[in-house]
């Protein structure tokens, strides 16, 4: 195993303070259901190396003590992470563990890597840096500066925002977004292929919550927390496909989000002439000819697509709001999975494909079906794109004011400032790629 790196590290020059802390005055820190289907595969890129390092960072601040005080769901997921990394077969992964606040403290508590979760307690992490202060922009830069080489970084934190000396909350939250964006743009200059995944969990909580006014609040039984996973594009599939599925089995798993500069411009498509359609059409290669409109209802056209290489899950792909249609005459009526000889639509249920369709798609691979409907006569081509959007669940768990968290059960499921943090990450990747779309498909219509 590699030697752990030295404990000291130069602090970065950033301003806003984020995440859990013990003393706010000294500086600190659509809910979607989990995917019902298996996530689609991560994109193919450069071959993964024969070996790599997983660097795991625990944000060592006082309010994180509530997640490691006793046997908690947080520890259960952490244990699964350590075991999954240790048993990864595709490549040889070494593990490095760090306590992170104003200092970077490498440690394994004198035990095997798979046992670190058992030793992670408020007592064992005491006196390791300043637990009463945590600047997340600085933490991001520390992690990203430590990212060089074949490294998968995993940051475990609750990411609660705490603007030190900031009387104007809206202004402080805007700074959080801007400085987070800056951190990821700088990282992209050093490694253009970095990708970021965010996994959302909940855990039982046995500690103190510190609100924006530094009021100490006790009695919160459960709290959300997150894994930020940062890795090169050739290593991210190793985590997403081999390690993350073990974590997502945990009862506390909720959602995930992906941020990447990658685009996917060669999506295979097949327009069906019979199955699930309304009206008569002909399809030649990637062109549609409307023969006749239906006597009742609207013209409906089913298009098969292969989205197996997209690094997003079915929860994202089945959300019609994540698509953009350039022709206002078209709308998405339903989305389904291709399952053998059937299409399992989310609303219409399972529909058996016509024999002519099965002959047409023989020896071709398609994962999803999109059912388009129109209003009136069609005068333009069918153009649709999958947008790179912040998932709806982020909007539903973000908080801009946590002062009522002690009595507000809905607020207890949220994270103060998390939305602005994610917006900063998202904007950085959008600026890096110059596009806000995973793909854009045009099917000419006659």
pLDDT tens readout for residues 268-297: 999 999 888 999 999 876 789 999 999 998
Same domain as 172, residue 40: yes
Percent of the chain at pLDDT above 90? 65
Closest CA to 21 of 416, 379, 424: 416
pLDDT at 351 over 50: yes
Same domain as 205, residue 278: no
Question: What does the block give as tokens for 390?
Answer: 């912040």
Within a domain: residue 444?
no
Q: What are phi and psi of 3, to 5 degrees?
A: -70, 140
The chain-wide mean pLDDT, for the chain, equals: 86
State the pLDDT at residue 23: 40
Within a domain: residue 5?
no
pLDDT at 436 over 50: yes
Please list the residues that pair with 200 across neighbouring strands.
226, 255
Within a domain: residue 19?
no
Please list the residues that pair with 399 across neighbouring strands.
416
State the pLDDT at residue 150: 93
The confidence band for 168, taking pLDDT boundaries of 50, 70 and 90, is low
Same domain as 432, residue 331: no
Question: What does the block give as tokens for 82?
Answer: 């350590």
Q: How many CB atoms lie within 10 A of CB 445?
A: 21
Q: What is the mean pLDDT of residues 189-203?
A: 93
Same domain as 105, residue 162: yes
Range(s) of the domain holding residue 35: 24-260+388-436
DSSP secondary structure letters along 244-280: HHHHTTSTTEEEEEEE---------EEE-SSTT-BSE
Same domain as 132, residue 94: yes
More confident residue, 292 or 20: 292
Q: Do the Cβ atoms of 246 and 114 come closer than 8 Å?
A: no
The sign one gets for the Cα dihedral 178, 184, 187, 188 is negative
State the pLDDT at residue 95: 96
Same domain as 411, residue 372: no
Q: What is the mean pLDDT of residues 28-41?
A: 37
Its pTM stands at 0.82
Please list the residues that pair with 442 across neighbouring strands.
383
State the pLDDT at residue 142: 86
Within a domain: residue 273?
yes
**C-alpha to C-alpha distance for 181 and 423, rounded to whole angstroms:** 8
Question: What does the block give as tokens for 221?
Answer: 């039984």
Contacts of 236 (CB under 8 A, 6+ apart): 42, 152, 195, 197, 229, 311
Q: What is the mean pLDDT of residues 149-171?
A: 80
**C-alpha to C-alpha distance for 119 and 142, rounded to whole angstroms:** 24
pLDDT at 384 over 60: yes
Q: What is the mean pLDDT of residues 137-165?
A: 84
Within a domain: residue 445?
no
State the pLDDT at residue 312: 86
Within a domain: residue 4?
no
Question: What does the block give as tokens for 408?
Answer: 């507000």
Same domain as 417, residue 356: no
Same domain as 218, residue 309: no
State the pLDDT at residue 48: 75
Percent of the chain at pLDDT above 70? 87
Within a domain: residue 17?
no
Same domain as 332, residue 306: yes
State the pLDDT at residue 238: 94
Buried (b) or exposed (e) across 249-282, using 16+ Cβ within 10 A? Answer: ebebbbbbbbbbbbeeeeebbbbbbebbbbbebe
User: What's the number of domains the chain is made of?
Assistant: 2
Q: What is the mean pLDDT of residues 115-120?
A: 96
Same domain as 39, residue 183: yes
Within a domain: residue 393?
yes
State the pLDDT at residue 46: 59
Same domain as 231, residue 297: no
Same domain as 336, residue 254: no
Q: What is the mean pLDDT of residues 368-385?
A: 94
Contacts of 100 (CB under 8 A, 6+ apart): 57, 58, 59, 60, 129, 139, 142, 143, 155
State the pLDDT at residue 192: 86
Question: What does the block give as tokens for 6?
Answer: 């030295």
State the pLDDT at residue 134: 59
């Amino acid at each position: 195993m590699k030697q752990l790196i030295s404990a000291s590290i130069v602090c970065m020059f950033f301003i806003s303070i984020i995440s859990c802390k013990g003393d706010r005055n000294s500086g600190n820190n659509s809910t979607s259901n989990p995917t019902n289907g298996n996530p689609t595969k991560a994109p193919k890129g450069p071959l993964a190396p024969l070996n790599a390092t997983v660097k795991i960072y625990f944000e060592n601040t006082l309010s994180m003590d509530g997640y490691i005080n006793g046997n908690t769901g947080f520890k259960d997921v952490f244990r699964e992470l350590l075991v999954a990394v240790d048993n990864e077969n595709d490549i040889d992964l070494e593990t490095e563990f760090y306590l992170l606040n104003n200092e970077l403290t490498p440690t394994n508590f004198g035990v095997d890597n798979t046992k670190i979760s058992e030793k992670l307690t408020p007592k064992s992490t005491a006196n390791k840096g300043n637990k009463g202060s945590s600047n997340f922009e600085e933490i991001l830069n520390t992690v990203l500066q430590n990212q060089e080489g074949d490294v998968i970084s995993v940051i475990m934190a609750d990411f609660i925002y705490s603007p030190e000396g900031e009387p104007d909350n809206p202004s402080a939250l805007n700074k959080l977004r801007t400085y987070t964006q800056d951190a990821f743009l700088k990282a992209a200059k050093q490694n253009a292929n970095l990708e970021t995944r965010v996994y959302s969990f909940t855990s039982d909580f046995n500690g103190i919550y510190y609100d924006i006014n530094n009021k100490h609040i006790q009695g919160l039984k459960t709290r959300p927390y997150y894994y930020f996973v940062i890795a090169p594009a050739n290593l991210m599939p190793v985590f997403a496909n081999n390690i993350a599925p073990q974590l997502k089995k945990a009862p506390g798993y909720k959602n995930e989000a992906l941020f990447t500069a990658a685009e996917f411009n060669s999506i295979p498509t097949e327009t069906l002439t019979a199955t699930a359609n309304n009206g008569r059409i002909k399809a030649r290669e990637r062109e549609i000819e409307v023969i006749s409109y239906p006597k009742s209802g609207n013209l409906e056209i089913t298009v098969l697509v292969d989205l197996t290489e997209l690094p997003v899950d079915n929860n994202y792909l089945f959300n019609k709001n994540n698509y953009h249609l350039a022709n206002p005459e078209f709308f998405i009526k339903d989305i389904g999975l291709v399952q053998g000889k059937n299409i399992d639509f989310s609303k219409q249920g399972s529909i058996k494909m016509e024999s002519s369709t099965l002959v047409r798609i023989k020896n071709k691979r398609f994962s999803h079906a999109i059912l388009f409907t129109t209003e009136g006569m069609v005068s333009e081509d069918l153009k649709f794109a999958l947008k790179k959007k912040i998932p709806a669940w982020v909007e539903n768990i973000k908080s801009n004011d946590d002062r009522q968290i002690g009595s507000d059960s809905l607020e207890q499921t949220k994270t103060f400032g998390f939305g602005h943090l994610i917006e900063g990450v998202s904007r950085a990747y959008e600026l890096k790629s110059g596009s806000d779309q995973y793909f854009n498909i045009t099917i000419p219509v006659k």
